[in-house]
Amino acid sequence: MTPELLAELARLPLFPRTALELMRIAGADATAALIAAWPGQEFPVPLLGGRKSPLGMRRFDQLAEIVGAEAAREIVKHWGGQKLSIPNLKEVRWQYRQQQIRSEYDRLTAGGYSHPEAVFELGIAHGVTGRAIELVLKRPDAIPGDAAQGCLF
């Protein structure tokens, strides 16, 4: 996960609020590093200041090793004493990948590929079946701000 990819994903409707809040509090670099290191995990954020326990210090050090000391301090300031649910971005990554597939399909067919040839090439390139490509092509692109209702059906 790179900060650039994170910024791209943040434009999509399924991007989680927790990830947006993490970006606001700790910055894009720290958020990308945290999501890459601990996707989908709940991290018990230590308390800031006060009596420092060995466990709290160890947790702070773990966090700082991934995001840096300054970003770790900001995370602790904001979420100290709580569990931070680190998003895995699985759904939003698939949404982004679907947009890429549709875009690549348009490019391939405009370049002379037939529909079956383009589906085959995209299946190979993305490691999915031709049927999965067909299903992606039938769905419209996600529009930022959409309620993402298409995911329910």
The contacts found for 140-146 with CB under 8 angstroms, 24 or more apart, are: 141/98, 141/99, 141/102, 142/12, 142/13, 142/14, 142/95, 142/98, 142/99, 143/13, 144/11, 144/12, 144/13, 145/13, 146/13
Query: Does residue 79 share a domain with residue 22?
Result: yes
pLDDT by residue (tens digit) across 11-36?
999 999 999 999 999 999 999 999 99
Distance of CA 121 to the CA centre of its chain: 26
What integer is the mean pLDDT of 127-137?
Answer: 95
For residue 131, the enclosing domain spans: 90-152
- pTM for this predicted structure: 0.79
Give the residue from 64, 85, 106 where a domain finishes: 85
The pair of structure tokens assigned to 14 is 């399924």
49-75, pLDDT tens digit by residue? 656 788 999 999 999 999 999 999 999
42 within domain boundaries: yes
Residues 27 and 61 in one domain: yes
φ/ψ (deg, to 5) at 72: -60, -40
In a domain, 113, yes or no: yes
What is the total count of domains within the chain?
2
Q: Which residue has the tokens 């434009």?
A: 11
Which of 33, 51, 85 represents a domain boundary (last residue)? 85
Asked if 100 and 41 sit in the same domain, the reply is no
CA 30 – CA 38 distance, rounded (Å): 12
Helix H or strand E encompassing 54:
helix 54-67
On whether residue 7 sits in a domain, the answer given is: no
